[in-house]
Amino acid sequence: MSELRTRMIDDMVLRRFSPRTQQSYVGAVKGLAAFYHTPPDQLDAEQIQAYLLHLTTERNLAWSSLNVAVSGLRFFYHTTLGWDRLELVIPPRKRPSPLPEVLSVEEVERLFEAASCPKHRVLLMTTYATGVRVSEVVRLQASDIHSDRRMVRVENGKGGKDRYTVLSERLLVELRQHFRRVRPLSWLFFGADRTRPLSTSAAQRAFTAAQQRAGLVRGNGIHTLRHCFATHLLEAGVDVKVIQELMGHSSILTTMRYLRVTRKTITATRSPLDLLPKPEDLPDDPSS
């Protein structure tokens, strides 16, 4: 491991960055160095800007991927190397705000029924019933299920925050059956190695396989179930601030975007087409 990489990782560890963030940021700097075949500390701001332009126009990276690269490079040059911030000008990017895709409750049930095995069924059901992220559901342990309090503890979620979310009666029954079937050592959902949690990619594949079997065309990955959790609770009349706490959103504005896709909000509004008089109600044309 190079000295620069070690310094960068140490800087991130001191700031309690998650292992995933550390890996992404190191990868961003590695990609820049590989592009120029030059150590990153020997590049100048103009070269870095040109590389970002390459990622944008030629590689056509998605905004989220580009943002990770920008953040990683900014951290390396500003924090690890101590560059003055005026030396590396990265223009701010406006994040797109696409509406989340949401399944109906009937479609969610079809998804569960189409799971390839009981473990995957419980995995998908847990993701929907608790509203957790995929990185959080695969790291749930038996000790996180507080059956007496009807709560699920989510440790070290996004931003390193702990929180509690709801534990449904139906999910509790499913989890108890799952526990009796597999007898987990620690992780509720493990992979081939029982001592390690299921990978997020394996969880994504479980969702995609069930989605295809169920014949569902909507939904973009297992995160769709988190969108369904928030939207269906809003439609059931749960307060948006409660949903914010359950989902671990730092800003209530993030939670409020689900108001834009709730059936209760949209269907309560009549289309102007329905306000027009029906053809049979129109007076006869005297000229006919």
Q: Which of 120, 133, 178, 227 is catalytic?
A: 133
Active site residue 223: yes
| Torsions phi, psi for 151 (to 5 deg) | -140, 155
Active site residue 258: yes
Pairing of strands 145-146, 151-154: antiparallel
* pLDDT at 118 (0 to 100): 95
Q: How many CA atoms lie within 13 A of 95 on its CB side?
A: 7
Reported as a single tens digit per residue, the pLDDT across 156-191 is: 877 778 999 999 999 999 999 999 999 988 899 998
Listed in order, strand segments (DSSP E) in 55-204 are: 145-146, 151-154, 163-166
pLDDT band at 251 (very low <50, low <70, confident <90, very high): confident
Average pLDDT over residues 231-254: 90
* Strands ordered across the beta sheet of 151-154: 145-146, 151-154, 163-166
Q: Which of 120, 139, 226, 232 is catalytic?
A: 226
Query: What is the C-alpha to C-alpha distance for residues 98 and 78, in angstroms, rounded to an integer?
Result: 31
Reported as a single tens digit per residue, the pLDDT across 2-23 is: 888 999 999 999 998 888 899 9
Query: What is the C-alpha to C-alpha distance for residues 186 and 60, in angstroms, rounded to an integer?
Result: 41
Reported as a single tens digit per residue, the pLDDT across 181-223 is: 999 888 999 988 989 999 999 999 999 999 999 999 988 899 9
Both tokens of 131, joined, read 């509203």
CA 3 to chain centre: 33
Can you list the domains of the chain with their CATH numbers? 3-87 (1.10.150.130), 105-267 (1.10.443.10)
Percentage of residues of the chain with pLDDT beyond 90: 59
Reported as a single tens digit per residue, the pLDDT across 127-158 is: 999 999 999 999 999 999 999 999 999 988 77
CA distance readout (Å), 187 to 143, 194, 226: 9, 8, 20
Q: What length does the chain have?
A: 288
Residue 52 has pLDDT above 60, yes or no: yes
Calculate the average pLDDT of the chain: 88
